[in-house]
Amino acid sequence: MPINPMSRRSLLKAGVAGFAASALPFRLARAETPVIIGAVYVGPKDDFGWNQAHAVSMEVLKKLPNVTVVEEENVPETDAVSQSMESMINLDGANLILATSFGYYKPFVVDLAKKYPNVEFRHAAPLWNKDTDPKNAGSYFPYLNQAHYVDGVAAGMSSSGKIGFVAAKPIPSVLSNINSVLLGARSVNPDATVQVIFTGEWSLPVREAEATNALVDAGVEVITCHVDSPKVVIETAEGRGVKTCGHNASQAPLAPKGFITGAEYKWETIYKSYADNIAAGEPLPNFIVGGYDTDMLRNTPYGAGATPEAVKAADEAIAALQGGMPIYKGMLKDNQGNVVVDKEYDNYDPYLDGMNWLLEGVQGSIT
């Protein structure tokens, strides 16, 4: 999911500060304004991936007082999403719409936010522009590469360091996850490598299975991925006797023998803060980004593939990230020999949003 560096550059401090201000003790039990949330998903809620991650968080919201959740799955990035969102507003009384797929934002979220100025719209990608977009719209996006760094630590400690990565497209957010896996693995195993295969699309199950098998045939010992639903990758690797790390949501049930841990979004942290603000009659922040330091990420509980040493090292990495430890620092070259990192970068530095390289140690090409 690509990121607009210029938008983030001007909004980052305000976004983090806005979230910090809103992340106060939950007040819904004594609030008066009912919270009716409409959540729209581009795929099935049980895809073991992107959509399931949001749906799991909605289950948390459903248990809160004064909150009603309305969901619709398998909604394409067409006029169909406008119809779904408008139905939630007019028939269900939704006062907060969560549009969870990248292609929902323009023109659909923007147009409906203008049409319904008393409804809040929030979109799960950092696309909101403070200069042009409606003030009742906004963006939220946790940086999952931090949890993939933890995956790399655990993978590096649970193997000899030969890691495979099945990726959809070579865009900055995907490249960041690949490179962060490598840096995590090399923090505990300097000889670790990551071999990547790009499938070209977010959901191509046949190609994902072929890529996984090719990586196993090439000798990797742990496989992870960045595709919409990791189900095929995880199941294929498990069937080949190879360990795995997950992406987006928990895939632990799919790999009872080889699952190590996985990078998960903790969307409910953001959704609770939105619901709390609406219930209290307070404005919602327009722009939220975060990671482990703002409780927006988690790693899946360790599976049978994780060694005791991996668990210890991964737990230490999580604690360090919660304290703001930077992932990209020192002198780092890409796998073409060019220096791409020559100093320490904060984990939210806009420079990293434009990542268009694979680090030395990653076997693969973005061209």
Q: 237 with 302, same domain?
A: yes
Give the total residue count for the chain. 367
Is 288 among the domain residues? no
Q: 158 with 89, same domain?
A: no
Answer with the one of 127, 142, 157 that is the final residue of a domain.
Answer: 142
Nearest Cα residue to 324 out of 341, 343, 342, 345: 345
Cα distance between residue 11 and residue 9, in whole Å: 6
Is 46 among the domain residues? yes
Q: 104 with 253, same domain?
A: no
**Which amino acid is residue 299, in one-letter code?**
N
Q: What is the mean pLDDT of residues 299-313?
A: 98
* Per-chain mean pLDDT for the chain: 92
Q: 337 with 208, same domain?
A: yes
Is 83 among the domain residues? yes
Answer with the one of 94, 127, 142 that is the final residue of a domain.
Answer: 142
pLDDT at residue 190 tops 60: yes
Cα distance between residue 62 and residue 348, in whole Å: 31
Element (H, E) at 38: strand 35-40
pLDDT of residue 78: 97
Answer with the one of 126, 142, 158 that is the final residue of a domain.
Answer: 142
Q: 218 with 245, same domain?
A: yes
Q: What is the mean pLDDT of residues 326-347?
A: 97
pLDDT of residue 367: 86
Cα distance between residue 184 and residue 190, in whole Å: 10
Residues contacting residue 107 through CB under 8 Å, at least 6 positions apart = none
pLDDT of residue 27: 53
Q: 124 with 173, same domain?
A: no
pTM value > 0.85? yes
Is 284 among the domain residues? no
% of the chain exceeding 90 in pLDDT: 90
Q: 30 with 134, same domain?
A: yes
Residues contacting residue 39 through CB under 8 Å, at least 6 positions apart = 54, 55, 58, 69, 70, 71, 72, 97, 98, 100
Q: 176 with 224, same domain?
A: yes
pLDDT at residue 25 tops 80: no
Is 245 among the domain residues? yes
Q: 248 with 180, same domain?
A: yes
Is 273 among the domain residues? no
Count of domains observed in the chain: 2
Is 14 among the domain residues? yes
Q: 205 with 56, same domain?
A: no
**Which amino acid is residue 248, in one-letter code?**
N
Structural domain harbouring 250 = 145-263+297-363
pLDDT tens digit sequence for 72-127: 999 999 999 999 999 999 999 999 999 999 999 999 999 999 999 999 999 999 99
Q: 83 with 122, same domain?
A: yes
Is 181 among the domain residues? yes
pLDDT of residue 11: 45
Q: 41 with 183, same domain?
A: no
Phi and psi angles of residue 335, each rounded to the nearest 5 degrees, phi first: -80, 10
pLDDT of residue 336: 97
CATH number of the domain at 184, please: 3.40.50.2300
